[in-house]
Amino acid sequence: MDLSLGPVVAGVADVVAGVVAQLRVFEGRELGSLSDAELVELQGVVAGLARAVEVPVAMVAGEVARRSSPEVGGGLARKQGFRNAVAMVAAGMGGTRGGARDLIAAGTLLNADGDGDGARSLGAVVAEAFRAGEVSAAKAALVSEVIAQCSGEGRDTERAEVEQALVVKARKVSLEDLRHAGRQVLASWDADHTLEREQRVHEARFLHFKETVDGMVAVNGLLDPVCAAPLIAFLDARVRAGFAHKRDAGDTSRDPREAGWMRVDALADLARHGLRCTQPGTGVSTTVVVRVSEEALRTGLGVGDCDSMATPLTAKQLRLMAVDAQILPMVCGGDSLPMDLGRAVRFFTPAQRLALIERDGGCAFCHAPAAWCDAHHVNEWDRDHGETNLRDGLMLCTRCHHRLHDDGWSVRTTATEVWFIPPASVDPTRTPVQGGKRALEIHPPQAPPQAA
């Protein structure tokens, strides 16, 4: 289908006119004089403008790609001196190749409006959301990629439902969180495909060392999840302990390279330990937790996840990992340890921490990895008489912990959900925002729990 520029240009012109009208409110103001609320409002206005302008840019990028494709006898990019359409679009926009790919994918997606007989094609929902400026080119490209990988005969209705759910999610969450939701969709869509992928990445693993001319050693490699999970867990634990030691010692110095230094030192320490120990790896004070449903563990069908990895893993892979004594399987739906301790103790037990991670996934607010987080009381144990139980527990990274306390956010929790209530300075309506693992699901509960 040939797309007409007329309606698109008119639509962008309408958006621009609306943005200009909104910008008139700030006319004559210095940017530095705006209040926080005004700056947030202005950011929303100009972000909408940026998304609207992306539409004709993506259309042009998609046409460049079409004319550069061998299938249509093109070669536009080569004629202009570029290797391919991605390079041409990236150069023209002054951006990255990744950004160019997103623009090309989104521009190509705009052709998914139907086949001329009134039927809607797969991809039409996300195309409409992109054209309306509701989602960015990067999000549109991601949703399109996920849907394209959801293959199988007779499953068009399921694909359409997934597309609709992902578009709803794309309007609300960050690109990274949308990518996580996409991984979950693909892992659940076709277990056989996931098994093939796991076998492929396992065979592709490698590690290579090369000495450079200045005496350094360059490290290059790819690790499959089974190999990477315990390594990531160990290194993250050492980095976390290193920063805690600095904090306890009163050292407030900051260097953006510190975490990288700590990982190198920890890896070298682990190797030295292995060289002189008959049981390499013993004494590492961290645990890798894999999570899988009771049914999936019994049948070997389905997917689960690992605290150290964002990629979902099949039940077969998780069962193999759980054979290792240093890896703790959490079976959802089976028996569990008593979790509620009331006021008897102040600190959450390891079992409670695992249960909180099962609900929150990591930082309940920003979704940082579980290894970066601590279990905190929703109601402070000493000041607000909070209890050490799951209803009063919350996994937070240090930054989000301070953010909630310092900026006036409130929290509502249940055994399965977490909701954050922003202060009026952030949202005058104080509409609850879902957190935890449920926030990354494509079909999360819509209503927050009522305040006690």
How far the first Cα of the chain sits from its last, in Å, is 56
Question: Which parts of the chain register pLDDT below 70?
Answer: 1-4, 8, 72-74, 111-120, 191-192, 272-302, 307-310, 316, 318-347, 379-390, 443-452
Query: Is 34 part of any domain?
Result: yes
Last residue of a domain, one of 189, 222, 251: 189
pLDDT confidence of residue 144: 92
Give the amino acid at 347.
Answer: F
246 vs 250: CA distance, rounded Å: 6
pLDDT confidence of residue 91: 93
pLDDT confidence of residue 99: 92
128-172 pLDDT per residue, tens? 899 888 999 999 999 999 988 887 777 888 888 889 999 999 998
Query: Is 233 part of any domain?
Result: no
Please give the residue range of the domain that contains residue 111.
5-189
Query: Is 20 part of any domain?
Result: yes
76 vs 98: CA distance, rounded Å: 20
pLDDT confidence of residue 280: 45
CA 426 to chain centre: 23
Query: Is 275 part of any domain?
Result: no
Tokens of 306: 């690992």
Cβ burial of 202 (10 Å; 0-12, 13-18, 19+) is middle
Cβ burial of 335 (10 Å; 0-12, 13-18, 19+) is exposed
170-227 pLDDT per residue, tens? 998 889 889 988 888 887 777 667 777 778 888 899 999 888 888 888 999 999 887 8
- C-alpha distances in Å from residue 150, one per residue of 154, 304, 305, 312, 396: 12, 19, 20, 16, 34
Query: Is 287 part of any domain?
Result: no
Query: Is 417 part of any domain?
Result: yes
What's the chain look like in SS3? CCCCHHHHHHHHHHHHHHHHHHHHHHCCCCHHHCCHHHHHHHHHHHHHHHHHHHHHHHHHHHHHHHHCCHHHCCCHHHHCCCCCHHHHHHHHHCCCHHHHHHHHHHHHHCCCCCCCCCCCCCCHHHHHHHHCCCCCHHHHHHHHHHHHHCCCCCCHHHHHHHHHHHHHHHCCCCHHHHHHHHHHHHHHHCHHHHHHHHHHHHHCCEEEEEECCCCCEEEEEECCHHHHHHHHHHHHHHHHHHHHHHHHCCCCCCCCCHHHHHHHHHHHHHHHHHHHCCCCCCCCCCCEEEEEEHHHHHHCCCEEEECCEEEEEEHHHHHHHHCCCCEEEEEECCCCCCCCCCCCCCCCCHHHHHHHHHHHCCCCCCCCCHHHEEEEECCCCCCCCCCCCHHHEEEEEHHHHHHHHHHCCEEEECCCCEEEECCCCCCCCCCCEEECHHHHCCCCCCCCCCCC
Query: Is 124 part of any domain?
Result: yes
Domain count for the chain, please give it: 2
pLDDT confidence of residue 283: 42
pLDDT confidence of residue 327: 55
pLDDT confidence of residue 184: 81
pLDDT confidence of residue 151: 77
Query: Is 16 part of any domain?
Result: yes
Last residue of a domain, one of 123, 157, 189: 189
Give the amino acid at 213.
Answer: V
pLDDT confidence of residue 105: 92
Last residue of a domain, one of 189, 207, 224: 189
Rounded to a whole number of angstroms, the CA Rg of the chain reads 25
Longest dimension (CA), the chain: 75
